[in-house]
Amino acid sequence: MSSAAQRLDGLLRGDLDALHARSLYRVRRLVEGPQGAELLMDGRRYLNFSSNDYLGLAAHPALRDAARHALDQYGVGSGAAHLITGHTRAHAALEEELAVFVQRPRALLFSSGYMANLGLAGALVSRGDCIVEDRLNHASLLDAGLLCGARFSRYTHADPAALRQRLTRPAKRTLVMTDGVFSMDGDLAPLPALARTAGAAGAFLMVDDAHGVGVLGDHGRGSLEHFALGMAEVPVLMGTLGKALGTCGAFVAGSDALIESLIQHARTYIYTTAPPACLAEATRAALKLAQGESWRRAHLFRLIRHFRSGAAALGLPVMDSISAIQPLLLGDAQKAILISDKLRAHGIFAAAIRPPTVPIGRARLRITLTAAHREEHIERLLAVLEQIVKHSR
């Protein structure tokens, strides 16, 4: 008789083989050295168009120096959860500075955006309540809605009228959750209309601004600043630290009552070890740079315009996006892998995104631009894409 391990491996191997057959198998790449416009990966140097390091801060010397100093002061591990002995002056200072940055009374740190979304949904709604989400929300938002115990439904992507229809069923408390910038399509949620729709129904709007904070708005405060919205319209804001700010982790910002409720009830905050203090200090350094060096955002948006103009001239199927996320829609998963592989042969890395991350028939290259890129990088990408896509038609 085969062992339990052999039986389990037999079941798992069949699933893995099926993923291979459908061109959906995922592979990790081995990166050596820091993040940047160029990346040493799998033993070869690539021009990198698959990074969320939108402001080019991940390898900045100021962040390294802040982290080194904090290592001397605090050591490596935080040693406990925030509510035990893991909450340091570094964490407290970062929370205060994030709150000032996004113009809210308070902010609360989480270990990741995934944990922030799971925690806040579980703390704010439960059985008898309702969560309504955009159909193309990030997986962490969808999982938060599914796992929190509230009645869960989704509305047609970026459609306030469809949201209005979902808000007609009675509930004790209704939370509407949406991305500010959608991570795979790069488009912005119609936040003013969503806020009006939610408010008219007595629901509360939560925005996951992982890809907006640090990038959008006159001061880089994100999607809400871009649309001139405040806490009155969007009482719950989540932002991540591992994208434009170049470190790791996340935060939720809002009223004193909101933050105190999360401290008391968010299980992903209460029952996990606090992030290292050195990350908090590095993020404080990143926040200062993001606010003080507005040229980074200006340069990034010049590159976005340059890429979109060049792509339009070449007839490339780039999706409609003003953000740093510029998806090249290819449809078929195998085609997306093929073009990604051909780019890699030319020393350019742009990841192929396939189902289930995106719907079937919507595979694409997820091209992301950062302030670390230069105009000649964009020109090189466009020239190689022209050559590859023309030959693949």
**What residue segments make up the domains of the chain, in order of their start?**
27-56+294-392, 61-292
98-107, 166-175, 204-213, 322-331: segment of lowest average pLDDT:
166-175
pLDDT of residue 23: 85
Cα separation of 131 and 121, whole Å? 8
pLDDT above 80 for 199:
yes
CATH (one of 3.30.930.10, 3.40.980.10, 3.90.1150.10, 3.90.950.10) for 27-56+294-392: 3.90.1150.10
pLDDT reported for residue 393: 61
User: Which token pair is 286?
Assistant: 């990143």
What's the CA gap between 366 and 354, in Å, rounded? 10
pLDDT interval class at 263 (50, 70, 90): very high
d(CA 54, CA 297): 9
pLDDT at residue 389 in the model: 76
pLDDT band at 309 (very low <50, low <70, confident <90, very high): very high
Instruction: Return the active site residues.
Output: 183, 211, 243
Q: How far apart are the first and last CA of the chain?
A: 53
- Number of Cβ within 10 Å of residue 123's Cβ equals 21
DSSP alpha helix (H) spans, the chain: 4-21, 61-74, 89-101, 113-124, 139-147, 160-166, 191-200, 223-226, 256-265, 267-270, 277-292, 295-314, 333-345, 375-392
pLDDT at 392: 66
State residue 170's pLDDT score: 80
- 3 CB neighbour count, 10 Å cutoff: 8
Average pLDDT over residues 357-363: 91
Determine the Cα–Cα distance for residues 298 and 220; give it in Å rounded to an integer: 10
**Tokens 């060096």, residue?**
293
CATH, domain range 61-292? 3.40.640.10
The answer to whether 155 and 163 are in contact (CB under 8 A) is yes
- Under 8 Å CB-to-CB from 3, ≥6 apart: which residues? none
Q: Which residues pair with 253 in a beta bridge?
A: 107, 237
Q: How much is the pTM? A: 0.94
Integer Cα distance of 176 and 163 in angstroms: 9
pLDDT score recorded for residue 228: 98
Counting every residue written for the chain, the total comes to: 393
User: Which residues lie closer than 8 Å to 40 by C-beta, 6 or more apart?
Assistant: 31, 32, 33, 46
Eight-state DSSP code of residue 274? P
Q: How far is residue 228 CA from its own chain's centroid?
A: 21
Can you tell me the distance from the alpha carbon of 113 to that of 110, in angstroms, rounded to the nearest whole number?
Answer: 7
User: Average pLDDT of the chain?
Assistant: 95
Q: What is the full DSSP assignment across 211-271?
A: TTTTTSSTTS--HHHHTT--TTT--EEEEESSSTT-S--EEEEE-HHHHHHHHHH-HHHHT
Q: Which amino acid is at 3?
A: S
Instruction: State the CB neighbour count (10 A cutoff) for residue 117.
Output: 29
Which pLDDT band, with edges at 50, 70 and 90, does 2 fall under? confident
Q: Judge whether residue 1 has pLDDT over 60.
A: no
Half-sphere exposure of residue 88, counting CA atoms within 13 Å on the CB side? 20
> What residues contact residue 18 under an 8 Å CB cut-off, 6+ apart?
none
- What pLDDT, on a 0 to 100 scale, did the predictor assign at position 116? 98
What whole-number percentage of the chain has pLDDT above 90?
A: 91
